[in-house]
Structure 1
Amino acid sequence: MLQITDLHATIADKPILKGLSLTVAAGEIHAIMGPNGAGKSTLSYVLGGRPGYEVTSGSVLFEGQDLLALEPHERAASGLFLGFQYPVEIPGVSNLQFLREALNSQRTARGQEPLSGGEFLKLAREKAALLKLDPEMLKRHVNVGFSGGEKKRAEMVQMGILDPTFAVLDETDSGLDIDALRIVGEGINAIMRASGKGVLLITHYQRLLDVVRPDRVSILADGRIVRTGGPELAQRLENEGYDAVMEAA
Structure 2
Amino acid sequence: MLLKVKNLKAKVIEDNKEILKGVNLNINAGEIHVLMGPNGSGKSTLSNVIMGSPKFEVIDGEILFEGKDILKLDTNERAKMGLFLTFQHPQEIEGVKMRQFLINAYRHMHPDKKVSPIELNKKLINLCKEINIKPEFLDRYVNTGFSGGEKKKSEILQLFFLEPKLVIIDEIDSGLDVDALRDVADAINKLKKDDMSILMITHYQRILKYLQPDYVHVYVDGKIVYTGDAKLAEEIEEKGYNILSEYVDVDTVKEW
TM bracket (short chain) = over 0.9
Separation of aligned partners in 2, 1:169 and 1:229:
19
Report what 1:131 is aligned to.
131
Report what 2:205 is aligned to.
206
Report what 1:188 is aligned to.
188
Among 21, 24, 27, the alignment partner of 1:24 is: 27
Residue 120 of structure 1: CA displacement? 1.2
SS of residue paired to 2:113: coil
Residue 247 of structure 1: CA displacement? 5.8
| CA shift in 2, pair 1:151/1:246, >3 Å | farther
Gaps of 5+ in 1: none
Cα deviations by residue, 1:215-247 (Å, 9 ceiling, x for unpaired)? 110100100001111111101101110123246
- 1:22 partner letter: L
Report what 1:161 is aligned to.
161
Report what 2:254 is aligned to.
none
- 1:70 partner letter: L
Report what 2:148 is aligned to.
148
Residue 92 of structure 1: CA displacement? 1.6
Separation of aligned partners in 1, 2:206 and 2:48:
24
Separation of aligned partners in 2, 1:89 and 1:42:
22
TM-score computed with the length of structure 1 as normaliser: 0.94
The question of whether the paired residues in 1 share the 8 Å contact of 2:169 and 2:200 is answered with yes
TM-score computed with the length of structure 2 as normaliser: 0.92
SS of residue paired to 1:164: coil
The question of whether the paired residues in 2 share the 8 Å contact of 1:91 and 1:142 is answered with yes
Cα deviations by residue, 1:20-66 (Å, 9 ceiling, x for unpaired)? 11111222111000001111110111111222111111100111111
**Is the aligned partner of 1:8 residue 2:9?**
yes
Q: What RMSD over aligned residues (CA atoms) do the two structures have, in Å?
A: 1.3
Report what 2:234 is aligned to.
235
Residue 174 of structure 1: CA displacement? 1.2
How many residues in Structure 1 have an aligned counterpart in Structure 2?
245
Separation of aligned partners in 2, 1:55 and 1:229:
27
Residue 67 of structure 1: CA displacement? 2.0
Residue 193 of structure 1: CA displacement? 3.0
SS of residue paired to 1:119: helix
- 1:219 partner letter: V
Report what 2:215 is aligned to.
216
Greater fraction helix: 1
Report what 1:64 is aligned to.
67
Among all aligned residue pairs of Structure 1 and Structure 2, give the percentage whose two residues are the same amino acid.
Answer: 47
The question of whether the paired residues in 1 share the 8 Å contact of 2:235 and 2:243 is answered with no
Separation of aligned partners in 2, 1:16 and 1:207:
27
Among 44, 53, 58, the alignment partner of 1:55 is: 58
Gaps of 5+ in 2: 249-256
Report what 2:117 is aligned to.
117
Report what 1:85 is aligned to.
88
The question of whether the paired residues in 1 share the 8 Å contact of 2:97 and 2:140 is answered with yes
Report what 1:35 is aligned to.
38
The question of whether the paired residues in 2 share the 8 Å contact of 1:226 and 1:246 is answered with no
- 2:222 partner letter: G
The question of whether the paired residues in 2 share the 8 Å contact of 1:236 and 1:245 is answered with no
The question of whether the paired residues in 1 share the 8 Å contact of 2:11 and 2:59 is answered with yes
Residue 248 of structure 1: CA displacement? 4.0
